[in-house]
Structure 1
Amino acid sequence: MTQATIVIDRSAVVAPINRRIFGSFVEHLGRCVYDGIYEPGHPTANADGFRLDVVDLVKELGSTTIRYPGGNFVSGYKWEDGVGPRADRPVRRDLAWHSLESNQVGLEEFARWCALTDSELMMAVNLGTRGIDAALDLLEYANQPDGTALSEQRIRNGAVEPYDIRMWCLGNEMDGPWQIGHMSADDYGKIAARTASAMKTADKGLELVVCGSSGSAMPTFGEWERVVLEHSYEYVDYVSCHAYYQERKGDLASYLASSLEMTYFIETVKATADHVKYKLRSEKTIQLSFDEWNIWYLDEHQASEEVNEEWRHAPRQLEDVYSVADAVVLGNLLITLLQNHDRVGSASLAQLVNVIAPIMTEPGGASWRQTTFFPFSVTSRLARGVVLKPRIDAGTYDTALYGAAPLVDAVATFDAETGASAVFLVNRSQTESIEVSIDVSGLDATLLTEAVTLHDADAYARNTLADQNRVGLKPLDGVLLTEGVLTVILPPVSWSALALN
């Protein structure tokens, strides 16, 4: 059997865990909001129309900060349409996804939904068709306690207490030709800087996210970040990163190593941001916000006709059904985000319900967990304290896209207050189980409290409406903890988690 060794050193601290690393994303797209989190006629719906079965799954998932309301949607959005009496709200065309928006869910309702799910609201402002005035108005409406025109309007609408939104995105993917109002790096950098400066003048404690390029494959990648940050560096706190992955042309070997591309992405943006820091002689270090990341079979959706010339309310769009292999890759991407948590301060799994999501629903019917639900929920639940970067000695395998890739990847966490620790691992081999010896003696761990794995003989097994529980977590059998060494056998194409105390 192939073997690997891992050493976990309590002093190898990456960063204290910021719960925002387990964020998610709700966009007015497809059935994410309507027929997803919101369905007034559903048997579980509350007085606001929110499905409480979905609320329970969101809590189980462990998502924290929720980015809202887009995404591409925000670049044509008028926030005023989504406040006040619902009967008075206009129906608008959403040009981003070629659909109709009823505005029955807006800031007021979504803030209440966040309270239901114990989530922090992360708001995006429209810098596609709007600008500084609209952003400042939204900020005043949301955060001013009272005494101004817009804060008093919020109070009349039923929200006596301000929403106190701390984290704000300055537009979305503004380098993308698909984006309404897309612009050059120079133009965006200027409007982002002016908007950020004005928002910080209103509230210097805000945390602002400036748009990075829309992905590492974009021709703008790297240069966009440099130009934008040279304009906005002193006014913002994060630069956004968006990354989606999918298996292409049956190349499962490369797909399982997707986290290597994410590592390249992170290193490039870090280097670019630090270049600007030193060029400007700034004392501040910009963090990364991976406020869109997931598995997305974009090629297939672009080839389909699900986005067409009809103007429809909440059409079925981007409803990927995920496999075991997809879940293993997603678990590995989350490992990578944690390994780089010193600079990746926030992340949002895109999206939360129905649209490339870990949670699926049917109108009037069931809700269920996709395969990708499991590595996210377990990691969010077990990861506490600080992130530790292990030393990994494992063999490699060949990939068409990345050359030699390690067979095993891992990250660990440790909570000094409780003594609890956790190890998260993937086996990328398609055929071989791997025996891993993990030196945890530095953690003073004496008890294994949990050992689970996501694995199936069929790497393409999925949970569907017809078979909602086909795939789930299984006990990871045969794990031994002896004199500070964990011995575990990882099945092929698997993600696993171990908890100790």
Structure 2
Amino acid sequence: MPSATITLDPAFTIAPVRRRTFGTFVEHMGRCVYTGIYEPGHATADEDGFRKDVLELTRELGVSVVRYPGGNFVSGYRWEDGVGPRAGRPRRLDLAWHSVETNEFGLDEFIRWCAKAGVEPMMAINLGTRGVQEALDLQEYANHPGGTALSDLREQHGASAYGIELWCLGNEMDGPWQIGHKTAEEYGRMAAETARAMRMIEPGLELVACGSSSSRMPTFGSWEQTVLRETYDFVDYISCHAYYGNDDGDTASFLGSAVNMDRFIDAVTATADAVGAERKSSKKIHISFDEWNVWYGDRSRRTDEDSDGWSVAPRRIEDEYNVTDAVVVGNLLISLLRHSDRVGVACLAQLANVIAPIMTERGGPAWRQPTFHPFAITSRLAAGQVLRVETDSPTVSTARYGDIAAVDAVATYDEGRLAVFLVNRSTEGPVEVSVDVSRAGVFSIAEGLAIHDEDGLATNSADHPDRVTPQAADAKLVDGRLTVTLPAVSWAAFSLAG
């Protein structure tokens, strides 16, 4: 059997675990909001129409922050349509997803939902069809304590200041599909003007400039450089978006998706630091990886609705995830943790129904997709400091990324408790992994869980919601060495205690 060794030491750290790494994304797209997190009349609905079964799953998932309301949707969104009495809210055409938006759920409802879910709101601003003044109006409504027209209006709607600290300055403005698509020069200038004005009201806001919507974009790299030259002094983050799929059946490359994420993050970090060097600045721009996931099919895919019709909350990209997808998601989380020195925010897109870890049916049940489990386990176990790990592993050959390590890993350490996250990316067979934990002062395995199935295409469904669940992972801890056999295409997590 091939073998791999991993060495770690709590003295060698990368950065603290960022709780915002475990964010998700709620967009007015398909059934993410309507019949996803919000369904008045559902058997579990509370007084606000929020599905309590989804709220419970959101808390179990370990979500820390939720980005809202988009996504492509935000580039045509009028935030004021979604506040105040529902009876007076207008119905609008949503050009991004070819739907009718009722505005029954808006900013006021989102903030109440966040409070119940125990998550931090991350608000996106429309810089597609709107600009500086509309951003300031939204900020005044959401955050000003009172005594002005819009803050008083919010109080008339029954709410005190929302105190939103984290804001996205638009969404994917490099994309020709985006409503109000702009060049890097146009967007950079507008984002800088918007950020400067918002800081005149609240200097301590955390602001995210739009990076490239994909590392495959022809403007990738030059976009980040141009945008940051305009916005460097006014923003805290530059965004990354990446989706990975297995449409071509190249499973070996698909399992290596985290290699691409590693390279993407490193490239954006290098570009940001180069702009900082140009400006002779000691400031570091961090990364908001605020859209990432496995996604099958192209961006325009419809699930089962007529693309020429205009309907409310049609089904859109409701991908059914399998065990292999869950292993990839677990590995992408390893990559994000490994880059905790620069990745300050990350959002799994999306939360419910739309390429989501949580699925629902109208009037029916909610259930966990296989991808739910590595996210929930990693969020629960990762704490303290992210450790540097040295891995010596056999390799696997991939068409996209060349030869890559079969075993990938990351670890965290917090007050005598060590968490180790492992993945076997080989499709050929098991790998025996030996982790030297002797310097961590741990002597027992508190917990070990794995995602694996002989059928790598196994899925969950409303009828079989627990077909894929975490299984106990067999391992030994002897003389400061954790030993585990990882089956082909598997992900595992271990909690070790002193």
TM-score tier, shorter chain, comes to over 0.9
Give the Cα–Cα distance (whole angstroms) in 2 for the partners of residues 332 and 391 of structure 1.
Answer: 16
- Offset of residue 466 of structure 1: 2.7
Give the Cα–Cα distance (whole angstroms) in 1 for the partners of residues 164 and 342 of structure 2.
Answer: 22
Q: Residue in 2 aligned with 1:22?
A: 22
Q: Does 1:123 align with 2:120?
A: no
Give the Cα–Cα distance (whole angstroms) in 1 for the partners of residues 90 and 246 of structure 2.
Answer: 41
Q: Does 1:299 align with 2:298?
A: yes
1:296–1:306 CA distance, 2 compared to 1 (3 A) = farther
- Offset of residue 299 of structure 1: 3.1
Q: Residue in 2 aligned with 1:355?
A: 354
- Offset of residue 146 of structure 1: 1.1
Superposed CA deviations along residues 153-200 of structure 1, whole A, max 9, x for unmatched, are 1000010x2110000000000010100000100000000000000001
1:426–1:457 CA distance, 2 compared to 1 (3 A) = same
Superposed CA deviations along residues 12-35 of structure 1, whole A, max 9, x for unmatched, are 211011210100000000000000
Superposed CA deviations along residues 272-297 of structure 1, whole A, max 9, x for unmatched, are 10110011111210000000000011
Once the two structures are overlaid, the 10-residue window that deviates more, 292-301 or 83-92, is 292-301
The one-letter code sitting in structure 2 at the alignment partner of 1:463 is: N
Q: Residue in 1 aligned with 2:451?
A: 454
Q: Residue in 2 aligned with 1:242?
A: 241
1:304–1:38 CA distance, 2 compared to 1 (3 A) = closer
Secondary structure in structure 2 of the residue aligned to 1:8: strand
- Offset of residue 431 of structure 1: 2.5
- Offset of residue 305 of structure 1: 6.8
- Offset of residue 149 of structure 1: 1.1
- Offset of residue 300 of structure 1: 8.5
Matches for 1:167-178 after TM superposition, within 5 Å: 167-178=166-177
State whether residues 97 and 307 of structure 1, in contact with CA within 8 Å, keep that contact through their aligned partners in structure 2: no
The one-letter code sitting in structure 2 at the alignment partner of 1:339 is: R
Give the Cα–Cα distance (whole angstroms) in 1 for the partners of residues 130 and 236 of structure 2.
Answer: 22
Give the Cα–Cα distance (whole angstroms) in 1 for the partners of residues 453 and 419 of structure 2.
Answer: 23
State whether residues 28 and 70 of structure 1, in contact with CA within 8 Å, keep that contact through their aligned partners in structure 2: yes
Q: Does 1:422 align with 2:394?
A: no
Q: Residue in 1 aligned with 2:364?
A: 365
The one of 489, 493, 498 aligned to 1:493: 489
The one of 476, 483, 490 aligned to 2:479: 483
Q: Residue in 2 aligned with 1:341?
A: 340
Secondary structure in structure 1 of the residue aligned to 2:118: coil
State whether residues 8 and 439 of structure 2, in contact with CA within 8 Å, keep that contact through their aligned partners in structure 1: yes
State whether residues 307 and 317 of structure 1, in contact with CA within 8 Å, keep that contact through their aligned partners in structure 2: no
- Offset of residue 420 of structure 1: 1.4
Matches for 1:179-258 after TM superposition, within 5 Å: 179-258=178-257
TM superposition score normalised by structure 2: 0.98
Give the Cα–Cα distance (whole angstroms) in 2 for the partners of residues 75 and 190 of structure 1.
Answer: 17
Give the Cα–Cα distance (whole angstroms) in 2 for the partners of residues 425 and 24 of structure 1.
Answer: 22
Q: Residue in 2 aligned with 1:468?
A: 465
Give the Cα–Cα distance (whole angstroms) in 2 for the partners of residues 185 and 306 of structure 1.
Answer: 35
1:19–1:492 CA distance, 2 compared to 1 (3 A) = same
Q: Residue in 2 aligned with 1:150?
A: 150
* 5+ residue gaps, structure 1: none
State whether residues 169 and 209 of structure 2, in contact with CA within 8 Å, keep that contact through their aligned partners in structure 1: yes
Matches for 1:84-163 after TM superposition, within 5 Å: 84-159=84-159, 161-163=160-162
Secondary structure in structure 1 of the residue aligned to 2:9: coil
Secondary structure in structure 1 of the residue aligned to 2:10: coil
Matches for 1:54-69 after TM superposition, within 5 Å: 54-69=54-69
Q: Residue in 2 aligned with 1:403?
A: 402
Secondary structure in structure 2 of the residue aligned to 1:456: coil
Q: Residue in 1 aligned with 2:78?
A: 78
State whether residues 27 and 33 of structure 1, in contact with CA within 8 Å, keep that contact through their aligned partners in structure 2: yes
Give the Cα–Cα distance (whole angstroms) in 2 for the partners of residues 339 and 413 of structure 1.
Answer: 10
- Offset of residue 148 of structure 1: 1.1
Q: Residue in 1 aligned with 2:276?
A: 277
How many residues are treated as equivalent by the alignment? 497
Give the Cα–Cα distance (whole angstroms) in 2 for the partners of residues 35 and 80 of structure 1.
Answer: 22
Give the Cα–Cα distance (whole angstroms) in 1 for the partners of residues 429 and 300 of structure 2.
Answer: 33
Superposed CA deviations along residues 105-160 of structure 1, whole A, max 9, x for unmatched, are 1111110000011000000000000000010011011111111111111000010x
Once the two structures are overlaid, the 10-residue window that deviates more, 185-194 or 3-12, is 3-12
TM superposition score normalised by structure 1: 0.98
Superposed CA deviations along residues 327-352 of structure 1, whole A, max 9, x for unmatched, are 00010000000001100111000000
State whether residues 74 and 126 of structure 2, in contact with CA within 8 Å, keep that contact through their aligned partners in structure 1: yes
The one-letter code sitting in structure 2 at the alignment partner of 1:45 is: A
Give the Cα–Cα distance (whole angstroms) in 1 for the partners of residues 140 and 164 of structure 2.
Answer: 11
Give the Cα–Cα distance (whole angstroms) in 2 for the partners of residues 135 and 295 of structure 1.
Answer: 31
Secondary structure in structure 1 of the residue aligned to 2:30: coil
* 5+ residue gaps, structure 2: none
- Offset of residue 465 of structure 1: 2.3
Give the Cα–Cα distance (whole angstroms) in 2 for the partners of residues 248 and 49 of structure 1.
Answer: 37
Superposed CA deviations along residues 453-496 of structure 1, whole A, max 9, x for unmatched, are 0000011111122321111100112x111111101111110010
Superposed CA deviations along residues 228-247 of structure 1, whole A, max 9, x for unmatched, are 00001000000000000001
Give the Cα–Cα distance (whole angstroms) in 2 for the partners of residues 436 and 307 of structure 1.
Answer: 50
The one-letter code sitting in structure 2 at the alignment partner of 1:146 is: G
Give the Cα–Cα distance (whole angstroms) in 2 for the partners of residues 307 and 279 of structure 1.
Answer: 51
Give the Cα–Cα distance (whole angstroms) in 1 for the partners of residues 214 and 459 of structure 2.
Answer: 28
The one-letter code sitting in structure 2 at the alignment partner of 1:361 is: T
- Offset of residue 302 of structure 1: 3.4
The one-letter code sitting in structure 2 at the alignment partner of 1:435 is: E
State whether residues 98 and 307 of structure 1, in contact with CA within 8 Å, keep that contact through their aligned partners in structure 2: no
- Offset of residue 429 of structure 1: 1.2
Once the two structures are overlaid, the 10-residue window that deviates more, 235-244 or 291-300, is 291-300
Give the Cα–Cα distance (whole angstroms) in 2 for the partners of residues 301 and 487 of structure 1.
Answer: 45
